Amino acid sequence: MLMKYTKYFSGVLRNQGVPNLNVEQYARLMNIVSLEGRMQELLDLKETITNREEYYKYDVRIKRLLAKIEALTASESPNALMQHMVLTSK
Kindly report the three-state secondary structure assignment for every residue of the chain: CCCHHHHHHHHHHHHHCCCCCCHHHHHHHHHHHHHHHHHHHHHHHHCCCCCHHHHHHHHHHHHHHHHHHHHHHCCCCHHHHHHHHHHHCC
In this prediction, residue 1 carries a pLDDT of: 58
On average, the pLDDT of the chain sits at 94
Mean pLDDT of the 19-23 span: 94
User: Does residue 17 register a pLDDT over 70?
Assistant: yes
Domain extent at residue 68: 4-88
In this prediction, residue 90 carries a pLDDT of: 87
> What domain count does the chain have?
1
